[in-house]
Amino acid sequence: MKFKDSHGLPLPIKKAIEWQEQSHKTTSDVSCTTLIDSPLRVWLRERYYKHIVEEYGDRLWALYGTLAHLVVEKFGASETAHVEKEVTADIFGWKVSAQLDYVLEGERLIDYKFTSIWSTIDGVKPEWEAQLNVGLYLLRNCNDEKMRDIGKSIHKLEICALFRDWTLRESEKFPNKIQPLAVSVWSNEKAKAYVEGRVKLHQAASNTDVIPPICSDQERWMSDFAIMSKKKKNAMKAKIKTREEAEQLLAELGGDYIREAKPKRCADYCSYGKQGFCPYWDGFAQETRAEPVVAEKPKETTFDDPDHKRKEGGPNV
């Protein structure tokens, strides 16, 4: 991946963003966060990652999240608390790893999220629940005997949500700027089946020219249909799951048009989709293709900005 700077950001910020991107690399075959993500995105990363170009400024939220983890790492460790602990387990010939934010012996595993208040409006996201339960399963089955024993003592999972957009006017719904959220703990059987199933999916998609299936609606962050009126900014009726239901409500409510369901990740957030590498998403037409199309790899892109050059190891932060 390469970065560009269209807004004249300070050099220390750009170096920190480059360091943050490099810090995600792991020596395992697959990490927890990758395991719960779409195999298609991993397939795209294997082929097009070095051709992706992103604005430095688009990575600020990710950088702030990393800084929050650095705070936990500096101030959270104790004799019974383990912070930023990587654990690895062998599953079907692959090394599967998880970076655990905070493990309190005999009690709980906590993951810190620097996030929007609205991401928690419906409770814990399914992907957050999966991430924590996969982390706990790997902790209980990792190659480190001491950490395995600690994993067996953990009986609670928790998200610590650090709200980046909290304001006083939202205080009735969200009274605190920081909100602990309890996460359901899966049975060992459910966690084992999930982890092994995801490993098989990713192994099937790895190092092959066969295009994996399209991401699920959940993985694409598919929005719902809504009934809109030209006289109102907000929807007359939202969270409609099917077009058939939307068409019926349009007639009943007397709305002007239907706001289409949209895969928000494909259109606005996934670099592979936005930059024309996804076989299923047509970024120009802003729609899903009827048939997948494999993108040709472009020629190497270079920049004149000397600040783009990374120093081995990144800055000392």
> Are both 6 and 155 inside the same structural domain?
yes
Q: Is residue 151 part of a domain?
A: yes
> Are both 138 and 183 inside the same structural domain?
yes
> Are both 116 and 249 inside the same structural domain?
no
> Are both 30 and 155 inside the same structural domain?
yes
Q: How many domains does the chain have?
A: 2
- In terms of C-beta density within 10 A (0-12 exposed, 13-18 middle, 19 or more buried), how is residue 106 classed? exposed
Predicted confidence pLDDT, tens digits, the chain (317 residues): 999 999 999 999 999 999 999 887 788 999 999 999 999 999 999 999 999 999 999 999 999 999 989 999 999 999 999 999 999 999 999 999 999 999 999 999 999 999 999 999 989 999 999 999 999 999 999 999 999 999 999 999 999 999 999 999 999 999 999 999 999 999 999 999 999 999 999 999 988 889 999 999 999 999 999 999 998 888 999 989 888 999 999 999 999 999 988 999 999 999 999 999 999 999 999 999 999 999 988 866 544 443 444 333 333 33
Helix (H, G, I), strand (E, B) or coil at 198: helix
162 close to 60: Cβ distance less than 8 angstroms: no
> Are both 31 and 180 inside the same structural domain?
yes
> Are both 36 and 151 inside the same structural domain?
yes
> Are both 203 and 244 inside the same structural domain?
no
Pairing of strands 108-115, 156-163: parallel
> Are both 33 and 138 inside the same structural domain?
yes
Q: What's the pTM?
A: 0.86
> Are both 86 and 119 inside the same structural domain?
yes
> Are both 236 and 95 inside the same structural domain?
no
The C-alpha R_g of the chain, in whole angstroms, comes to 22
Domain that holds residue 7: 2-211+294-308
19 vs 98, 231, 289, CA distance in Å? 20, 48, 35
> Are both 141 and 249 inside the same structural domain?
no
d(CA 280, CA 211): 10
Residue carrying structure tokens 């600040």: 307
> Are both 171 and 253 inside the same structural domain?
no
Q: Is residue 283 part of a domain?
A: no
What angle (nearest 5°) sits at the alpha carbon of residue 299, between those of residues 293 and 300? 125
d(CA 138, CA 128): 15
Q: Is residue 237 part of a domain?
A: yes
Residue carrying structure tokens 């907000």: 234
CATH code for the domain in which residue 181 is found: 3.90.320.10
Chain-centroid distance of CA 282 in Å reads 22
